[in-house]
Amino acid sequence: NNPPYNAGAFRFELTFSPNHPFEPPCATLRTPIYHPSVDREGRVCQPLTSHGHWEPATRAIQVLQDLLLQLDSPDPRRLLRPDVARELQERPEEFRRRAEEHTRRHAEPRPEP
């Protein structure tokens, strides 16, 4: 919902293990994104779904809400791409410009409300 990502739509995939809910799902972003918490393969740094933080009572909607919050508000401490996190901290305008351009090139059109 917030710049620089609000100009497009992004696809997520949640994969559940046969041991769910005792093991966390794996969240993958299928749409390329320029973000410090998402690597080039679409893996997301999400503490909520790490084995150390996972609670079996956590619902899939909570995982998705956490992902959306994380994408809307990049946290340079949750990182998989140190170069992008450094740019966000040191050159925020350059980060925003690159993220907006990447969104224009790779994201899908947003559905009408």
- Catalytic site residues? 45
The answer to whether the Cα torsion of 6, 43, 14, 105 is positive or negative is positive
Tokens linked to 40 = 């080039």
Tokens linked to 10 = 């992004």
Distance between CA atoms of residues 56 and 42, nearest Å: 24
